[in-house]
A and B are shown apart, each in its own frame.
Chain A
């Protein structure tokens, strides 16, 4: 049976190992799609709607086409069609320089007939709101209703009930490298595309289908990628436009989104509003839950969230629906549906615990069936010093008040079939590992090197890892759902093991021992029954002569497992005069199965916590109901965490089993509830709407006084 072996036997797996791309990244040599410069390359730009809803009545590209330096202009919408949100594409240009492309956009003549619009959920569901989707009744989708147990009976048995409304706004991904491509037709039938994507093969297949090319004649390359967080899986309108412009001009073209467009059209995390009522027994059993909620994913649907979450409620009724507004579509964003659901659920749990006069951690313990999280609660509470928490919320003295809170999360991961990989051992001792996954910053390149190096007795830096290229024809899935490591690792391991076996067959005659008596040591191969008989790695591979060993791997269920648990504790300090919330410390206890590289796993946990902190305290897409535009489509007014917001973060990789699961998404989930609960513990007032900005804190404090 395949296994990753015991921790004590691992030389590399589970250790803290510096990422292989480190040197390229710190010297500026790492080439992202945005950095690709091709000979004779043109620059592309897209003209976008500045209005939220309009009919296109005229579109004239001729003046833009006539501008010196402009090589092609294409419409991206037909006259007579509707623009349905700010940022929607109207036309694209290709020009000799980016500045000329900018000029050309200003020469495009567009005539629009403005239509009534709605950009906020409240406006969209208000009576008399203009209907903005033809296929829905009003601006709401048909609700999905679920019921388990007997909710009404359970409420009549409940000793305490809480009724509250929780809200999280739309959050945007803010990928620092915007979406985009560099496109080059090498001839009429062969297309090479550098893509800023989480799915090299997904983009390849997408483009091949749309341009009716054989898949192996489209090559997609993503050597390095500047952040995706769930928003970069397809070629997108911009990618298709770039391919068309490149074909027309017979020149390579670079077309990257602007920062503004990135906010407007490149995806977002949908909002959530839930009206929830829940009840618990005197001894702290959560027994009744009734929730009606909605969110907006812009003009599209997909605004789901998890409710109830983590904690088991036997009797529950939920009704949820989507609200359409004239704004850019949602896309998957790091643990879709979970952080918002966790914020509401963890807030609700604390509100119930308070009514019961129970410690919120104790209340969770009673209602959480996960043994892993039970152990995490103990560890996390110790690390944060939970005993220091205010027994009575808001009871601290002074202007700056401190408090503590806890939140929880869960995720799947565990990978899936569909990855092909090849491990090659050459006669000169060099080793290559190739697969079509992509390193989106999570460090899969290094994970692959660690696995191969462990199997072959080498150092990770001895392994040449090639990912992010569809050229070799070894597909792997998109990097989503925290699935990359668990999908790739088993295939890489079995490929490396097969290559090792082949090498043993070549070396056995030299060592005069049977193949199954050979073992790998560090930098050598030896005979298990007579350890004096050894050959160095180089001597061994020298046996290959003119040959190379090249072996594929296979998916192995025994090497992976789905399901992770996590919990986080926050300590905050709230300035009751300014309303400013400062997070002092977060303890993140995160299970992720076998952490192949403990260092990059810790990075992922830090990153998740910080993104969760952003959602808790800073981030919000602000739409102007007057103009239908996003007011903060930049990095100045759309606040993401900066150095001053970063607390002390204790990231604890919580070992559970030695099968690979994945960790990209889960650490961003519990942070929101932990911070919100800590704020309540500090000031004794609950803020049920994120982000917790100073104005909300001051308003809540004023209402408490009054």
Chain B
């Protein structure tokens, strides 16, 4: 390592140490090298000591009303997947997945008043009074939506973990654009990520579905 690089590295360490001091951690540097605080105790305490503030809200999910107690920080996705209603029943709508946890992959895509949203990026409280549709609400009872039929026919899935998100995005795309071109399909589904590489058959499926709708 050159002297300049060493100097640079030292600077980085110093600034990190000052930062830790700044947030007032209780950690003590044990040696010349700075101790690293992995957690952030005081912030956590501030959030969790004493009563956590919660509120009862009503959500309309797939045309069914749920009454749920949530914290301000509770996301819509948390309610769908892990929520327990005030009657003690699991909401258990686990079709939407948490994959990237930052609005990048589309695994948690749902419709709110007909518009695609990432449920991991939406606070549950903000969806009160709105119509929430998850992948479980796309079919009409046992009658699958044309998009769902086409996904099965074209094998537009492998592991299937991203599939619910793609289904919801595809339905939303076709609701807005009945006959999308391949470029428009790619654009409409660009917010969804698949790792198995099912894209070509997804494009085929959306084309087929568009012919049926």
Contacts and interface: CB of A to CB of B under 8 A. Distances in A.
B136 A97 contact: no
Contacts, number: 239
B196 A635 contact: no
B36 A112 contact: yes
B195 to A, nearest CB: 5
Nearest to A19: B155
A643 B189 contact: yes
A434 interface: no
A353 interface: no
A224 B161 CA distance: 9
Given A51-B36, A108-B39, A606-B200, A26 B195 contact: no
Contacts of A58: 30
A24 B187 CA distance: 26
B58 interface: no
A29 B95 contact: yes
Interface size class of B (residues with CB under 8 A): 35 or more
A384 to B, nearest CB: 16
A110 B39 contact: yes
A58 B193 CA distance: 41
A49 interface: yes
A103 B48 contact: yes
B116 interface: no
A643 B199 contact: yes
Contacts of B105: 176, 635
A220 B19 CA distance: 46
Given A110-B38, A113-B30, A26 B167 contact: yes
Given A112-B36, A113-B30, A226 B160 contact: yes
Nearest to B38: A110
Contacts of B99: 176-177, 259, 635
B101 to A, nearest CB: 5
Interface stretch (A402-410, A482-490, A528-536, A608-616): A608-616
A226 B159 contact: yes
B55 interface: no
Interface string B20-48: 00000011101101111111110111011
Contact of B152 (A22, A30, A48, A105): A22
Interface size class of A (residues with CB under 8 A): 35 or more
A67 B33 CA distance: 31
Nearest to A21: B160
B46 to A, nearest CB: 10
Contacts of A649: 200
Contacts of B34: 114
Contact of A644 (B107, B155, B190): B190
A441 B196 contact: yes
A196 to B, nearest CB: 10
B168 to A, nearest CB: 9
Interface string B88-99: 001011111111
Contacts of B27: 109, 111
B199 A610 contact: yes
B210 interface: no
Interface string A163-194: 00000000000111100000000000000000
A442 B157 CA distance: 10
B161 A226 contact: yes
B167 A606 contact: no
B159 A606 contact: no
Interface in A97-151: 97-100, 103-115, 128
Given A26-B151, A50-B38, A103-B47, 20 more contacts: A28-B94, A32-B97, A34-B94, A35-B94, A50-B36, A67-B48, A99-B71, A106-B39, A112-B36, A114-B35, A176-B193, A177-B159, A177-B161, A227-B195, A259-B101, A607-B158, A640-B193, A642-B192, A644-B186, A646-B199
19 contacts: A18-B153, A18-B155, A19-B157, A32-B161, A43-B82, A49-B38, A109-B27, A109-B41, A112-B36, A177-B161, A225-B159, A226-B161, A599-B155, A636-B100, A643-B185, A643-B186, A643-B190, A646-B203, A648-B200
Closest 7 pairs between A and B when the two form their complex, measured CB to CB: A28-B95, A441-B159, A610-B197, A226-B161, A607-B197, A106-B44, A25-B160
Interface of B: 1, 8-9, 12, 26-28, 30-31, 33-41, 43-45, 47-48, 71, 73-74, 78, 81-82, 90, 92-102, 104-105, 107, 134-136, 138-139, 144, 147-148, 151-153, 155, 157-164, 167, 185-187, 189-190, 192-201, 203
Interface of A: 18-19, 21-32, 34-35, 37, 43, 47-51, 54, 57-58, 63, 67-68, 90, 97-100, 103-115, 128, 174-177, 224-227, 229, 258-259, 440-443, 599-600, 602-604, 606-611, 626-627, 634-636, 640-644, 646, 648-649, 651
